[in-house]
Chain A
Amino acid sequence: MYNLNLYDYTKLFSGYSELRAQENRVVSIVFVKGNNTVNSRSATSGISARVYKNGSWGFASNPEISEAAAKAVIQAATENAVFLDSKELKGKGPLPKSPVKSENDFSTKKPRLGQRELVEFIRQLDDHIARKYPDLASRTVSLSCLDMEKTLITSDGSYSHSLVPRTTVGIALSFIKDGEPVEFARPYGGLGHFEDLFTSPEDLFNEIEEQYHHLMKKSEGVFADAGLKTCVLAAELAGILAHEAIGHTTEADMVISGSVAQGKIGRQVASPLVTLVDFAHSYNGQVCPVPVYVDDEGTEAKDAVLIEDGILKGYMHNKESARYFSVEPTGNARAYQFSDEPLIRMRNTAILPGTDKLEDMIASIDDGYYLIQPSDGQADVTSEFMFGITLGYEIKNGKIGKAIKDTTISGVAFDMLQTVTMASPDMKWHNSGMCGKKQGIPVGMGGPAIKCKINIGGR
């Protein structure tokens, strides 16, 4: 990617400093109803420095990765920190030190495919859908690949190099019912290069068949009955619940801002069935969707246990918030582009599995909903969260009923999590999530199916 020894520039550091070289490589291919509307590649790389002085930060970045650029960004970031410090005079002390060295490369060992092969793969998927499901009004088939490669050194002795790829095939199917479009989209893929995740378009045919059948049922769907309902959230949904409902309120910067998690460490905030962890890189011996071994401040990434058996245990930290709370940093400082500064971000946030069977959970509900596929979501410092639902079914007398139209569910997390009465033993990861907080960033979200009470939007 780049041939620059960052260690050569540590002598230019004054005070706590970070120097990061990074390249993000993106492949985008889109077919809309057979038309190859997007066919592109991009590479964005550069070098950045961040410097800390008495509680004020300076940051600078440059798209060149060269000796001159490295010197320039260190100088500019230092000047920026000095400028702010001279104005603000916060007089805050040093940040915690925890030097670590790490090398992690998740790139494929197989020969890389070219754009032609990738376009052909997507075209074959599109062609299959067009031939097999002629009653569809439209379909969009896309491929999105992101490689994030970073090298970081810090003045307190940390070094990290990582290459983390993510590959997502997106399939959206549209059907016209009574003159109105009905759509159902799903992502497939996750951590890894395309070559390690997909071998043949046929591998996705069963999933597409299932997706099509859900769409047909959804086209006959009814509006949800608005209000507080007993629901089973499928495993695909529990992850976004973990992320939106609790995750954001336990990011330490949100806590310091006054989120409802402030001052609640040690208190029962959820049902004893709920244990919620932001995993750094692995769970149960398996690598998570967004593995982080060393964060972008050079801190070794550790699992952050947020809720254990319903009791709030901790927050997610960068160095500055860890000092504020007098705890160890957890390695949650992450930046998206070379030109972005690290912020406290989630990594792989998950509710841990329970022991109840999904069938029993559904059978236990007389009048409620089985909610399966999420779309976007949003959190709040009050812990009132929402996320969109693009696939769900009524539950009537313990049995799955009609599909419902797109809706949104919401709740106050610390109230809603008290209503969790069952959790399934399986655990699924949502592999394609992007979280927005000044910068977008890939996140992993996971969990089992859970039974709870939640507000559902409808008519």
Chain B
Amino acid sequence: MANLRQVAKHGLNALLKAGADKAQCVATFVDKHEMNVELGEFSLLRTTFDTNIRLTAIKANRRGSTNINKSDEESIDKAAGEVLAIATASAPDEAFDIAETQPPAEFSSGSDSPDLDKMYSSMKQLIHQVRDRYPKLVLMQVIVDFTRSRSCFVNSNDVDFVTNKGVYNCSFLFSSKDEDKVSSFNYTGFSLRELEKHLLECGSLDILLRQSVEQIVTRPLEGKFVGDVIITPDCMGDILFFITRALSDGPMISGTSIYKGKLGLQIASPMFTLHSRPVSDEICDGYFVTSDGYAAENSTIIESGVLKTYLLSLYGSRKTGFDRAVNTGGAFVVDPGDTQLDDMIKSVEKGILLARFSGGYPSDNGDFSGVAKNSYLIENGEIKYPISESMVAGNFAEMLKNIKAISRERIDYGFSILPWVQVSGITVSGK
């Protein structure tokens, strides 16, 4: 049964036939072509085909779901019967529901098939460029894949969405070595619709490779101080993870989110505006349909520091009484500021350029601590030297309020677009 919509419809009908009051089925076919480089040499060419059929049923306000990766009728029929048994076992909850009727739609982005020769030549070119430009750099792992996914979301309210998406995903893990000295590894990645530019010109790759070579020789910080931290775009993920989690179903339903009741209130500096833009042209690795089966829309989560929306699912919305989010987060775009990065550095009396944060999960109240990896000491407006064995600690929620500047420059990762952010009041400690 190769037809995507037929598979999804069969899953939906099987659930209804098995006794579901409400049902939904998401059928996804994924083809991936992946090239791997290890230690600067091609090591593996990987081709994978996978299927995911997600079946969800609600019966008498009880919900169950299952995932299988088989698309034949017999497997789907068997799984549909199991979903009803799982649903029957669940605790009842009137908040369980499925998306309402929407006009059917088909969404597409990216190419249908990979250009394997281009993948190979792009990676080969990167290897040569790195050898020429950064001879001490070790490309520990480079992975470029082309992922083609086709997905159909149907439910018993006549929702019928088809998505076709093709995207190149690139990831890089590297360190630098000079005799017996080695730098901390660092990593980055980006997504591309087409392999048009040199990989070295995409995302933050060239910046980080240059820094990696500089970081072969580091100095530990001595003592402890409270100062400014310039957070690089590659390091913004931890803050965005904290915000996303605090606004999502779990903490909102349990009542432990520090942002519960803060809708319309100032939770960050007026300089900070955060969007989630899964269906924007500027994002090549977004999504078109939410996990609940709604056509995704772009949204502004924080506008000039004011919280504009939670990130609640349909279930989370019904449990808390707040509006359902128009997307499921991700595809983050932070508005640029009006400060040049160079000027930002010049303004720091004592602080660090935080290029990678290696720390434990932040507490629910936003407290965090961790190691400042691949980072630099800034003193009297100048980057002094790369540091090691240095830790940073603070509170994400407070940090968002204590933003001093946001850079004009931003990095486009394909899946997000992020600037450098300068914050104050961070504890930095060395040996």
Q: Chain A residues in contact with chain B, CB under 8 A?
A: 31-37, 39-46, 48, 56-64, 76-77, 80-81, 83-84, 87-88, 90, 114-116, 118-120, 123, 137-138, 140, 174, 176, 180-183, 223, 226-228, 253, 256-260, 263, 339, 341, 375-378, 380-382, 384, 386-390, 405-408, 410-412, 438, 455-459
B149 to chain A, nearest CB (A): 14
- Whether the Cβ atoms of B63 and A263 lie closer than 8 Å is no
- Whether the Cβ atoms of A123 and B86 lie closer than 8 Å is no
Residues from 11 to 63 in B contacting A, C-beta threshold 8 Å: 38-39, 41-51, 63
- Whether the Cβ atoms of B427 and A459 lie closer than 8 Å is yes
The one of A81, A90, A384 in contact with B45, judged by C-beta atoms closer than 8 angstroms, is: A81
Q: Which of B69, B93, B427 has the most chain A CB atoms closer than 10 A to its own CB? A: B69
> Does B236 belong to the interface (CB within 8 Å)?
no
B73 to chain A, nearest CB (A): 14
- Whether the Cβ atoms of B359 and A39 lie closer than 8 Å is no
> Does B130 belong to the interface (CB within 8 Å)?
no
- Whether the Cβ atoms of A39 and B254 lie closer than 8 Å is no
The one of A56, A123, A183, A438 in contact with B363, judged by C-beta atoms closer than 8 angstroms, is: A183
- Whether the Cβ atoms of A257 and B138 lie closer than 8 Å is yes
Residues from 329 to 367 in B contacting A, C-beta threshold 8 Å: 358-365, 367
A383 to chain B, nearest CB (A): 9
On whether A32 and B254 interact (CB within 8 A), knowing A39-B63, A59-B46, A339-B50, the answer reads: yes
Interface residues in B, total, Cβ within 8 A: 76
- Whether the Cβ atoms of A115 and B89 lie closer than 8 Å is yes
- Whether the Cβ atoms of B365 and A181 lie closer than 8 Å is yes
CA distance A81 to B35 in the complex (A): 11
CA distance A138 to B249 in the complex (A): 13
The one of B48, B89, B255, B365 in contact with A114, judged by C-beta atoms closer than 8 angstroms, is: B89
On whether A39 and B370 interact (CB within 8 A), knowing A88-B41, A457-B391, A457-B429, the answer reads: no
List B contacts of A140 (CB < 8 A): 250, 254
List A contacts of B185 (CB < 8 A): 380-381
Q: Chain B residues in contact with chain A, CB under 8 A?
A: 38-39, 41-51, 63-70, 82, 85-91, 93, 95, 120, 138, 140-141, 143, 175, 177, 180, 182-185, 224, 249-251, 253-258, 315, 319, 358-365, 367, 369-371, 373, 388-389, 391-393, 427, 429, 431
- Whether the Cβ atoms of A257 and B140 lie closer than 8 Å is yes
CA distance A422 to B256 in the complex (A): 40
Tally the A-B contacts, defined by beta carbons under 8 Å: 249
- Whether the Cβ atoms of B389 and A116 lie closer than 8 Å is no
List B contacts of A408 (CB < 8 A): 359-360, 369-371, 391
On whether A384 and B388 interact (CB within 8 A), knowing A63-B69, A115-B89, the answer reads: yes
The 5 sampled A-B contact pairs (Cβ below 8 Å) are A31-B91, A32-B254, A35-B319, A140-B254, A257-B39
Nearest chain B residue, comparing its CB with the CB of A42: B67
Nearest chain B residue, comparing its CB with the CB of A28: B65
List B contacts of A120 (CB < 8 A): 89
The one of A36, A56, A118, A181 in contact with B364, judged by C-beta atoms closer than 8 angstroms, is: A181
CA distance A76 to B33 in the complex (A): 11
CA distance A181 to B429 in the complex (A): 26
Nearest chain B residue, comparing its CB with the CB of A175: B256
